[in-house]
Structure 1
Amino acid sequence: MNIIISNSSGQPIYEQIVSQIKSLIITGELNEGDALPSMRLLAKELRISVITTKRAYEELEREGFIYSVTGKGSFVAAKNMEFIREEQLRIIEDHMQHIIQAATLCKLDLPELIQMMTILYEEE
């Protein structure tokens, strides 16, 4: 499992871990039942605190992406891809609402907004 931590990112380290593991699960790189590295091993590999990896794993478990078995470790949970997709769509819609509000404030019209989004999307 390849997780990259950016110290220059404004995002907390545990959130970086959560988002990258979610991405690995959603894209199928991690499958149902796959074991995750232990919290201590991941912390050692990333050179971060065990508390940070614990927080990331707890968040993933709370959101239903992983489950933990005492003494055995943490594993990828069964995926409800429709639920995950709906959750991601809701997040995108929330971001788009903020974008629309910001565009309205600076009097950016819809064609300009679409052009900007197209340019950014194609850069990815």
Structure 2
Amino acid sequence: MTFTIDRSDPTPVFNQIYMRFEGLIRSGLMEAGSPLPSIRQLARSLDVSANSVKHAYEELESNGLIVTSPGRTARVADQSRLPCDVLAAIQCLVVAAHKADTDLAATQHVLSAVWEMEPAE
């Protein structure tokens, strides 16, 4: 698992780390029980403050995505993956967006706007 921090992005570093792990976990690319790097190890590999990584891990844990305990490796929580039908719909969206040559930011903005609308039953 490798990712980088976009230093030109105004999104705080801890939030970039959180969002990357959230995507990996909810998509199932990181399965339940999978270990996360130690705080120091990830901070070193991303060249960021250990406090930023710690903050991201705390947010991941408070949202039920990972489980931590002192002196032990943080692991992906059991019930953190999205339901299969939601993942399938997201994959269809991504394929359609790529075919339409739509960039990620535009797709995210539209998805956020649709999310805020009253759901059609």
TM-score range, shorter chain: 0.5 to 0.7
Determine helix, strand or coil for the equivalent of 1:7.
coil
Other-structure match for 1:78: 78
- Over 3 Å counting, the alpha-carbon distance change for 1:65 and 1:12 in structure 2 is same
How far apart, CA to CA, are the structure 2 residues paired with 1:29 and 1:96? 26
RMSD of aligned Cα (Å): 2.9
Deviations 1:74-106 (A, max 9, x none): 100012535xx6xxxxxx899317x99xxxxxx
What is the alpha-carbon distance in structure 1 between the residues aligned to residue 43 and residue 2 of structure 2? 13
Distance 2:111 2:28 in 1: 25
Residue 102 of structure 2: aligned partner: none
1:69: Cα distance to partner? Answer: 2.0
Please say if 1:48 is aligned against 2:65: no
SS at match of 1:69: coil
Distance across 2 between alignment mates of 1:28 and 1:22: 10
Q: CA 1:94–1:31 in structure 2 vs 1: closer, same or farther (change >3 Å)?
A: closer
The structural deviation recorded for 1:10 is: 1.4
| Identical positions, percent | 33
Q: For residue 68 of structure 2, give the secondary structure of its aligned residue in structure 1.
A: strand
Alpha-carbon distance, 1:4 to partner: 1.6
**1:27 equivalent in structure 2:** 27
- 1:73 aligned counterpart, secondary structure: coil
Describe the SS at the equivalent of 1:20.
helix
Aligned ranges 1:1-124 → 2 under 5 Å? 1-80=1-80, 81-82=82-83, 95-96=112-113
Specify the structure having the higher radius of gyration (Cα). 1
Count of residue pairs the alignment pairs up: 94
Query: TM-score, length-normalised on structure 2?
Result: 0.67
Deviation at 1:6, TM superposition (A): 0.3
Partner of 2:92: none
Runs of 4+ in 1 over 3 A off after TM superposition: 92-95
The TM-score, its normalising length taken from structure 1, stands at 0.66
